[in-house]
Structure 1
Amino acid sequence: MANFIHSLQEFVWGRGMLVFFLGAGIWFTIRSGFFQITKIHIWTANTIGALKKGKKTKNAKETASVTQFQSFCTALAATLGTGNITGVATALMFGGPGAIFWMWVSAFFGMMTTYAENFLGIKYRYKDEKGQWKGGAMVYMERGLGCKPLAVAFAVCCLGASFGMGNMVQGNSMAVGLEKAFHVPAFLSGSLCMIVVAVVLTGGMKRIAIFTERLVPVMAAIYLAGAMLVLFFYRDRIAGAFALIFQEAFRSSAAVGGVAGYSMKQAVRMGIARGIFSNEAGLGSSVMAHAQSDVEDPKIQGMWGILEVFIDTVLVCTITALVILVSQVPYWQAGDIDGTTLTGMAFASVIPWGKEFLAGATALFAFATMIGWFYFGAQTADYLAGEKGVKVYRFCYILITLPGCMIAPTMIWELSDALNGMMAVPNLLALFFLGKEVAYVGKK
């Protein structure tokens, strides 16, 4: 069984899938006239600028809605996970510094894929008899494409991935980190996690939105503050780290640390794959959160999607990569250490309690992902089985939190990877077929 799942994961995330993702991003980027660059003043003004002015982001106009910022934070909570720490370290270990450049490439084009997803999510959402918004990738597959089987396939894969990648993998990463750093037994951290998850989830979307609105900025600020301390200490090495990233992005082979180097093929594959895993552009997952926004213009919510990818990959992932590179920890010894340990070593090279700091940051990121992914799964459960399905799903999601923290989920990780990829196939197909409906500010 384990061999089958491993083979399935390798097949799903092969070269063809990465080209599929990148192709979608390139297509939407060209169609938009490189909107993420040429209209940067517009999308920043409608997101960051709107926050500064407090314009249409703080109070939802309808009880059935959440604010633009709350829906953004819920989506960002799911994407800002262990991938921003462990995933970046893994990209460096198996793809070399050049992988970071290709991670940026995937993020650059992924911004417009996420824009398109969120635009369609707002365009095709609808209200049920209780006045609640119903939206998500499966909704624009059914209402836009008229293809319910495709929508059901997406929903089933998303539901499965939420238990694995969204819950058990995150819980285990959190528990292992806390046990190594603070000697907290996995049973204790898992029990506490299950209780807090239950408290948050039983409050519905409003409570989830309020919780993530408060948690995401705080956890991001804490992590970035620690990272900036490391970068300040090694500030004379930052320029060299950037130079290394660009130099190795296009080299056929590069010697690192006196050992065999990385090929360009490795850099491209690891960089693009880790970028997709981190920001989830093209998976269709975050559409469920963005579709709940009180926004009326689909273009505005699309811009929040651009900001989501920017913060997740261009900002947080880049900072993690720089911390590892400037600290000169042995990222090339891929067979000897894991990604979390490597990043912990980088922080500990400057901060005496660096490993403990990273364990705490990982716990916050993992917990936020668990909350965000619950909402994604709940929307698909509602689509497949209605309110009763959501109640059963919520109970099961809370119940598996404890065992998830205690079981090493190697097989679950690979199965979730495969399910994520299988989510992406119907979503990317829908985006290609509905792509001409996506509109952009300043472009007819």
Structure 2
Amino acid sequence: MQQIADFLTTIDSYLGSAQWFVYLLLGTGLFFTVYLKFPQIRYFRHAIRVAKGKYDLADDKGDTSHFGALSTALSGTVGTGNIAGVALAIHLGGPSALFWMLMTALLGMTTKMVEVTLSHRYREVTADGTFAGGPMYYMKNRLKMRWLAVVFAVAAIISSFGTGSLPQINSIANAFEAAFGFNKVLLGVILASIMALIIIGGIKRIAEVTKRLVPIMAIIYVVGGLAVLAGNYENILPSIASIFSDVFSGTAATGGFLGAGFAWAFNRGVNRGLFSNEAGQGSAPIAHAAAKTNEPASEGIVALLEPFIDTVIICFMTGVILLSSGVWHDKVENTFQKADTYVYTSTVSGEEVLTNSQSHAYTGILDVTAGTITTKGIAVIHNRSFAQDVVVRDEAGKPFSGALNISGGKIVDEVSLSGKSLLHSAPLTTEAFGRGLFGTLGRFIIPLCLLLFAFSTALAWSYYGDRSITFLLGTRWVMPFRIIYVVGFACGAFVDTTIVWILSGVTIALMTIPNLFGILILHRDMRKELKQYWEDFRRDFPNEKAPKRW
């Protein structure tokens, strides 16, 4: 597993974690924001009205309503990224990483509008009478680059597992095991069975389920979050200030947090922002292509609401909860993930820990007596923090005694470690929710929210995957894909968390890069679509207000 994690990390370092990827993502959003004259501001109110169905026409063609498509797309974006992704970003980059998540969302509102509009414009009717769309269709039908469309579709299928399936059930299983001691395998089987019953019905059934799930899960999360903020009200303003105060300097070491420079906070904030709202990734346009409308731009305008709801509202709230509770820099008793655990010589510095430097990686034998490491001159690192009160247990869960083999800083033997260290992802947010008005009972809110958030995300991604399969192989291969997807979802419950997150980062980049290049090439088409939309709108609804400038 460690070799797999190292391999995926190497790939990710050239793609999603590379600085050029961050600039491409933000640069695309900035270009379209200026080119289209800040549509995320000018069209915001109009987007709400369209989503509510105010301008629907009787002859609109599609499989679901504007709100149904928005709910499906939102269910795909509002997931573990809002709970676990924000926590991971702050864990890695400090408070200022949240600032860059917000910037990614504000610019991403325009990117989302563009990719959805173009994908809807070139959608097709499939052999079974349903609509299919997404970036692969504008790549094939407008750019005449079928090879690029194939690259995107293949990446989307892989990403349906790396983004929509494995990380979602993995976060659910970890949260339920930590909160209730629930067996991961059993939980995976139960939820996979429920998923199979839903996705067989396709987009119509998925949309019906997500229309009911999205509002419920949002209410539960907001109520729980407000309880945490109320319990730490004196820290709210200082926490918000910390998000903006160190934007260009990075965050200094505090508590168990070892610090993070500007470049790391910037990269992690943008990267996790993309994972959360998926603006530019090309996934949401697949859901929006099913919307009932003859005006592609109208669905694009609805889509700009997604990053705002997902990141500007929900992720920002999560970030302030984590910061005001103080849990982000506190060491907490937990069971260590093996992929996140290293053994260094005690001379290692905090900066070397942050960069996973191998210059002080320990190789040799560790003596352990009754679970306690007795070898001197070593430091156990977990979650980029110096672990304390470390206990070693054997496979039966009993305190280990004997010699532990260490190679290149990694533990070779099959043992488990526990102790005090920093947390990240879902466990960090779970701990934060236990520090509010509800006390320790608040910890149970996160498993419930993760169940709703992550399960609905997995539903949406099953649809993204089957539309990509339809594009590549036709509708007859959709059912085999759904079966594999459900099996993979069940197996994801007990896969190492770190590997899952690394895989998701790789697959996100493989979708995003061709999509961003595609919409940049079609920037003139986008402006024409908007111009045509407002001309049609003024004709069909002469008494309604519309922007005076295109």
The normalised TM-score by structure 2 is: 0.76
Rate the CA distance shift 1:253–1:129 in 2: closer, same or farther, 3 A.
closer
1:358 corresponds in structure 2 to 446
- Does 1:338 pair with 2:341? no
Which amino acid counterpart does residue 189 of structure 1 have in structure 2? L
Deviation at 1:128, TM superposition (A): 3.6
Contact conserved, 2:63 with 2:203, CA < 8 A, in 1? no
Query: Aligned in 2, Cα 1:258/1:134: closer, same or farther, shift over 3 Å?
Result: closer
Q: Residue type matched to 1:45 in 2?
A: H
SS in 1 for 2:144: coil
2:20 is aligned with 1:21: no
Report deviation, 1:77. Answer: 0.6
* CA shift for structure 1 position 64: 4.6
What is residue 295 of structure 1 aligned with on the other side? 293
Aligned partner of 1:349 among 408, 425, 435: 435
Letter in 2 for 1:391: M
Q: TM-score, normalised by structure 1?
A: 0.93
Aligned-CA RMSD value: 2.0
Task: Describe how 1:2-401 pairs up with structure 2 within 5 A.
Answer: 2=4, 3-13=6-16, 14-37=18-41, 39=42, 42-47=43-48, 49-50=49-50, 55=54, 64-128=62-126, 130-252=128-250, 254-257=252-255, 260-331=258-329, 334-335=384-385, 336=421, 337-350=423-436, 351-352=438-439, 353-401=441-489
1: CA distance, partners of 2:89 / 2:117 = 31
Report percent identity of matched pairs.
35
Contact 1:141–1:151 (8 Å) recurs in 2:
yes
In 2, are the aligned partners of 1:93 and 1:332 still within 8 Å (CA)? no
Question: Helix, strand or coil: the match of 2:431?
Answer: helix
Q: Displacement, 1:22?
A: 0.8
Q: What amino acid maps onto 1:46 in structure 2? A: A
- In structure 2, how many angstroms separate the alpha carbons of the residues matched to 1:433 and 1:159? 24
Q: Deviations over 1:282-330 (max 9, x none)?
A: 1101110001000222222112221001011101100000111111224
Post-superposition CA distance 1:91-148 (Å, at most 9, x none): 1111111111111111111111101001101211132455422211100110110100
Deviation at 1:4, TM superposition (A): 2.5
Gaps of 5+ in 1: none
- With over 3 angstroms needed to count, the CA separation of the structure-2 counterparts of 1:384 and 1:258, relative to structure 1, is closer
Shift of 1:332: 6.5
Unaligned segments of structure 2, at least 5 residues:
332-383, 386-420, 535-546
Rate the CA distance shift 1:330–1:117 in 2: closer, same or farther, 3 A.
closer
Distance 1:131 1:56, change over 3 A: farther
Counterpart Cα distance in 2 of 1:365 and 1:258: 29
Counterpart residue type for residue 137 of structure 1: P
Partner of 2:474, secondary structure, is helix
Deviation of the 1:209 alpha carbon = 0.7
Query: Structure 2: how far apart are the matches of 1:210 and 1:8?
Result: 38
Task: Give distance in 1, aligned partners of 2:195 and 2:126.
Answer: 27
8 Å contact 2:50–2:66 — kept in the other structure?
no
What is the identity, as a one-letter code, of the residue corresponding to 1:345? E
Q: Which one-letter code corresponds to 2:47 in the other structure? A: N
How many angstroms apart in 2 are the aligned matches of 1:409 and 1:244?
29
Distance 1:51 1:116, change over 3 A: closer
Find the residue that maps to 2:259 and give its secondary structure: strand
- The one-letter code of the counterpart of 1:154 is F
Instruction: Quote how far apart the aligned CAs of 1:414 are.
Output: 2.3
Displacement, 1:349?
0.8
Change in 2 beyond 3 A, CA 1:16/1:73: same
SS of alignment partner, residue 249 of structure 2 = coil
Q: Is the 1:73–1:209 Cα contact (8 Å) retained in structure 2? A: yes
1:404 aligns with 492
Change (3 A) 1:422 1:332: farther
1:151–1:259 CA distance, 2 compared to 1 (3 A): closer
In proportion to residue count, which structure has more helix? 1
Structure 2 CA distance for partners of 1:65 and 1:362, relative to 1, 3 Å: same
Q: In the alignment, which residue of structure 2 is the partner of 1:429?
A: 517
Say if 1:5 and 1:415, in contact at 8 Å, map to a contact too: yes
Task: Detail structure 1 runs of 4+ shifted over 6 Å in the superposition.
Answer: 59-63
Residue 522 of structure 2 aligns to a residue whose secondary structure is helix
Q: By how many angstroms is 1:187 displaced?
A: 2.2
**How far off is 1:236 after superposition?**
3.2
C-alpha distance in structure 1 between counterparts of 2:88 and 2:74, whole Å: 21
Structure (1 or 2) with the larger CA radius of gyration: 2
What residue identity is the alignment partner of 1:161?
A: S
Q: State the alpha-carbon separation in 1 of the partners of residues 257 and 89 from structure 2.
A: 17
Structure 1 CA distance, aligned partners of 2:58 and 2:218? Answer: 24
AA of the residue aligned to 1:400: G
Q: Answer whether contact 1:77 1:216 (CA < 8 A) is retained.
A: yes
1:136–1:291 CA contact under 8 A, matched in 2: yes
What displacement does 1:165 show? 2.1
Write the letter of the residue equivalent to 2:9: H
Q: Which amino acid aligns with 2:499?
A: M
